[in-house]
Structure 1
């Protein structure tokens, strides 16, 4: 047992609990990427403040640490006072907030541009030591996609307000709970066809915990301030990724590419439905996402990457079977049945 006032392995004092541990505020800390960052920071012994719009839906993050170490709190990043309140006392800040489709007041500009600028500005005012901004490889001020433009504008605002920030641009992120492989694997249960917009568009899938590792290095000051593009070890077309997913879940489905013109019409229609319903009803694709799918989503030449952070990225084949098995026709028993079938075919060994 540690003596009173002496730091243990976690950096927590025995006599005052977490009062002397460092504090990180993670905006969007219960989201897909945010929860992995929260878990990593908690394991380091940091106090973690998970700032979200619905704290009651983020109680699961409390299990990442001991009692009182991880705290979900309410925050609206469109409001200065709300952002400042949850940041007070923080040594580091990570902004994971982003949206894939607009709904009501949650617009690309309000969330990804103004929200990022607000967090960076207040972090500088509050004397925060380290700031990590989660962006995206597609960030581009000249893009036809509002998502990509506002990601770029958010990056620019962060660098202006907090020059020492670490900005991470991941490609498509995969892992348990992702909205990419899980989404298309789920579709195979209902349809013999997988329709793809931009089947030849290339991606460089990156494992979610590798992104969280990079964010951890930024939040703890072990990464140089700069922009890092994060991609996995393999570059694959959308079509090839879906073929890999189908092999993993042991299903055969026809992959059909949709013309961009048709996809744009579909996106416009579903966008209208979303607006009329106040964002309650969301279609399978938006017009803005169609624009994003026209461009490859891979790491560019001459930029900083995982290599500059000392991280070896994880390949998809090492992780997909661990969470996509539930989409197999026989679920968790698929491999057992395959082994039994192989034994029957081979016959008894002598």
Structure 2
């Protein structure tokens, strides 16, 4: 499917959702959502979608590009033009989870002039982006395979005396030189006891013999994110950390075995936790089991047994990470992460 056709199909789905919720129009101004629906990257734009039509308003910097690239008719950004487009809509939905208060006060004035009532409806876009189409899945697999190749490259650079920050920078340079648009987040390279810090920032800590090493990395490729975590051991493995690793890997496998349409997200997290609890280690699992992924590395939903998305059921086309971790403060930690896509009968790994 072409980018243009994908964008038009997504706008049709949004219009169907607007009709279902009896909403007159929706405003989209987040750059990532603009790319998803209009098919072009921009730092500033106002996309209005009504039940029957859509229009992209951009400033002069993007006008010519938008006319050539956007899936949506584009004109120059002017308040009166936006007011005229909205007349008759009566209600204007927006993503209250993303919009700043300053932007809200501005758009509320525009909506009032068009005699529209503003209402926050963040789930409209969340649900739309939740299910990936075939083109998105292909791009995500490509991004994931790139990230795995980068991991295979950097793990071969490990040696006693090298620092975390040296490896992190080598990793970034490799990815950028080989075609990644950027890293999807600051890569984590952690040695020894630093592996017990889930969001450790690589520093000057040097690798030693018999160290445990954590690599958490991902890239942006064709606008889509990848995310993976792997563990490596240098020399003789500390028995406690090996046990931690084996239990954590078993927990991930049990969670993955439940990944299929119709299963609530909380069941994945609870399944992993049961493995950890039986091993006497559940207290050392201190974060959620995973998250959605796509145009952003962290997307809706969040996978946690007591989180706000706990009752959401898996559907074919959802892309999520499964990343249990166990962390012993002052000793070390382990995490193992894969990105998967839900299929009609189960799941496939992207890498």
TM value normalised by structure 1: 0.29
Going by fraction, where is strand more abundant, 1 or 2? 2
TM-score normalized by structure 2?
A: 0.29
